[in-house]
Structure formats: C-alpha cells, structure tokens
Amino acid sequence: MSVLTDCVTGYYGNHLSAPRTTMHKLTRAPLALNGLRCLLTDKHISAVNIIKRGCVCAENRGVSDKKEVYDVIISGGGMVGSAMACSLGMDPNLTGKRILLLEAGHKKVMEKVPDAYSIRVSSISPGSIYLLNTDLCKPYKRMQVWDACSDALITFDKEDLLDEMAYIVENDIIVAAITKQLDTLPDNVQVKYRSKVVKYTWPVFHRTADAVPWVQVTLASGQTLQTKLLIGADGPNSMVRQELGIPTVKWNYDQSAVVAVLRLSEPTENNVAWQRFLPTGPIAMLPLSDTESSLVWSTSPELAEELLELEEESFVDAVNSAFWNNENHSDLIETASSLFRGALSTMTPSAGSPRQLPPSVAGIGPKSRVMFPLGMGHASEYIRQRVALIGDAAHRVHPLAGQGANLGFGDVACLTQLLSQAAFDGKDLGAIQHLLEYETERQRHNLPMMAAIDLMKRLYSTNAAFVVLLRTFGLQATNMLPALKEQIMAYASK
C-alpha cells in the first residue's frame, strides 16, 4: 500500500458521510498517481503497515525566533504539494527528517461530502496502488473519442486493459483527504497554513562571513526558515521557479475551458468517458455518478464567454448539439473514410469497437459554470542546487488528455523514491546528484506526453480537408490495432 492509501482511505472511512448513493461501491479503486507504484519499494511496505503513527501535524505549530533548519520545505499546499508532504511523511526512511509544508491559504476541512458535485475534477489513471475503498469516486471502463468533421473514432475498452481505465475524483475530495491524513503524521511533519512566502535566498558556493548554506525562506510574518531542500509546488506561476530564473517554454492556446456539472436526462450506468473534437476545440463528458457528469469544453474565449451567458436551457441545447450534431461532415471526407475503413476491415475484421452515442443532458448544477484560460508550459530545468520543482510549477498541459494531475503525482512518486533512497544511504537530501536523477527520469516521461497532447490539440484545431483526412485515417487505423491501443493506455497509466 502507498502513503496515499492511508491518506484517502482513512479519511473517507472515518470522517465523511457519503450521501451520493447513486455511485458504484468500489472494493479496490486504484488511484494512479502516474506511476505511484514507484513510491515505495517492496521492502518499505511492511514497515509502513507497522508504523501507524498517530501523532499530530499542527496548524502553524510554534517556531522559535531563530532560523530553524528543516530537511525539506514544500512551498505550495495544493493537491500535488500536499501529496508530496504526505508521501515524505509516511516514508519509513524519512522518519527522522524535519518536513514543513507551507500553504498561503486556509486549512481545507471537509466534515461531510457536499450534496452538490464540485466543478473541478481529475481523471486519475489506474496503476498498482489501490487507494480508495469508497463510493466517492467514479470509475469508467470505456472511452470513446471521435471527430466532429468525420465519422472516425477510437475506443478504449476494459478488455484492452483488463481493469478500469481511470477514476474521476473531485479535486476537493483529494485535497481534503490528504489534509486529514497530514493531521495524523508524526510531529516531524509540520504544516503552516496562511503562510505566504515573500522571499527566497539561495545558497552560495563560496565561503563568506554571511554565506547561506541552505535555502532561506522568508514569510510575510517576518519569520525566516532554512531548508536543505526546497520543493516548489506553487503552481504554473511558481515564485520558486521565477526567482531562480529558470527559463520556461510556454504559450497560450487562445482557448478557454468551460466546466460545469451536467444532469443527465435519465439514470444510466454511465461508465464511459466521452470526448469529441470540434473545430473550435475538444468537448469532454466525464462520469460522476449514474445521473451526473462533469463537462470540460475547450473552445475559443469568445464562444466560452457566450456559453457562460446563455440561459440554462440554451446551454444544455448547446452541449447536446456539440456531442450529437454532424453539420461539419462533408461528403468527400465521408466517402474517403468509408473506403479506408473498409480496407482496414478486410485486414483486421475483428478489430475495432462499435460507435456509441453519449447520454443526453437535461440540466446543469446550480452555479456550476465557470471558465479558465488554457495554455502549455514547461520549465527547462526541474532542479537547481537544493531545489526541485513538481507539478504545475514544472509543467502545464492542455486538459484534453486528462493528464495534468497524473503528471504531478508522478513527480511526487519519483522524487519520494529518490529522497527515500538518499536518506537510506545517509546522503544529503539536497545534493544535486539524486536531484539530477529526478529531473532526468521525469523529463523523459513528461516531455513525450506533453508533445503528444500539444500535437493532438493542434491537429484537431482545423477543419481543412487534407488535415481532416490525415487524422481520420490515423484515428481509424489506430482503432483497428488493439495492441497499439494497449501500448497507448499503458504509457498513459505509468
């Protein structure tokens, strides 16, 4: 079991009542943290089960006026930063290390699950870590992706993976669960809420009278802390990254995502994730329960504004039309697509899956429509001396593949493993050697994924006939090759 197994299971089991009875009860719901199976090696598992440490993680625990030295300070207490603190705090090799999580906001406490679903959800990939024993997440066993400009589609079924494909979990649920688990960790793990960082002072490599051997963190309260390793988990506008002067390759997509909670016309098993590529951007419907789904509609900023202004009935009509309307089809594309599909069928007659139609939408959740801008960003370096970047501080992706959270959790898994090994070997946690290993391993995984997501976004952002034909043939060919689909999903689940 992983650190986050206790993190989420313990919180759900003891502290939440779950009124959403329409959801499926899971007995083994894996929450893949994009390779979280590397979080703990086999030799750690028994130790974690033995060390059930019921100590206290204090909110703003008292710190003396002198500059205290921590082994690790994590700047940013969002989903990824909190997971990092929890992960390090439950690793048996790091038991004696002083770990501090800094969060500028208030402590997020959830005594019971709200009746209404949150608009911000994550698609968490499956892996070897079985995390949730609750009905507060929704698995999907099939995904259908299709083109609005042709009849090309690709499906991924449970039979391709022999398991659930992924789980839709509300971000608030994940953060609240991790926060609750942080409260149970030993007092070597501390959390300071309402603690805004105003300055970082970086270590110098030459000896002077006022040389700073560690990273120095100055808070708005005037308090100064020192750490042997600073982990920047402070989001896409990371202050850590900016103050280090790490170059970032980034661009805006001139798109905004409209998110909302959808109410379906009638109850359904609702275990399919739907995504359709429109000329203005992809629209996705992700299952939340048998009667509700989460909408992520990426489109132009102008259309996004219009969608927010629409009355509920008109908005529902627009959503249904986006999934069902075939007005962008052309006879030329249809004919070429049909001929190509027929040729493929003669070579692989049993491959491919039949097209399904998504459920119709009857309404939306109250006050559930919001929009946010979309873009891509990647830090040229993930590490500096005594500093590592994780999550959105290191990389930001388009939501069309649902990989944003998984990439961040993969960073957590990888960095935890390397720091655990460094502690086991008696090495300095902030030493550049194992930080370079982290950077190399994560960039090797993140960059191909980000490039593929960016290519898909650009490929499906036009209705030019030649490009539509090209992507139609590619999608149909991939759909007829089960082995290739298995490889795609296996890579996404790492």
pLDDT digits (tens, 9 = 90+) for 230-263: 999 999 999 999 999 999 998 888 899 999 999 9
**Beta-bridge mates of residue 157:** 142
What pLDDT does 46 receive? 33
Q: How far apart are CA 139 and CA 288, in angstroms?
A: 8
Give me the long-range contacts of 439-445 (CB less than 8 A, separation at least 24). Answer: 439/381, 439/382, 439/383, 439/388, 441/414, 442/382, 442/394, 442/410, 442/411, 442/414, 443/382, 445/35, 445/407, 445/410, 445/494
What pLDDT does 257 receive? 93
What pLDDT does 138 receive? 83
Q: Enumerate domains of the chain plus CATH numbers.
A: 3-115+172-250+375-451 (3.50.50.60), 140-163+253-372+469-492 (3.30.9.10)
The backbone region for 226, taken as left when phi is positive above 0, alpha when psi lies in -120 to 50, beta otherwise, is beta
- For 349-389, write each residue's pLDDT tens digit: 555 566 788 999 999 998 889 999 999 999 999 999 999 99
Q: How far apart are CA 425 and CA 30, in angstroms?
A: 31
- For 214-238, write each residue's pLDDT tens digit: 999 999 999 999 999 999 999 999 9
Q: What angle do CA 375, 415, 137 make, to 5 degrees?
A: 65
What pLDDT does 478 receive? 83
Average pLDDT per 10 consecutive residues for the chain, totaling 494 residues: 46 45 33 34 34 33 60 96 94 95 89 83 64 62 88 76 76 87 91 96 70 88 96 96 95 91 94 92 93 95 95 96 82 69 64 76 91 93 97 92 85 96 95 94 93 86 82 83 76 65
Residues 6+ apart with CB under 8 A from 440: none
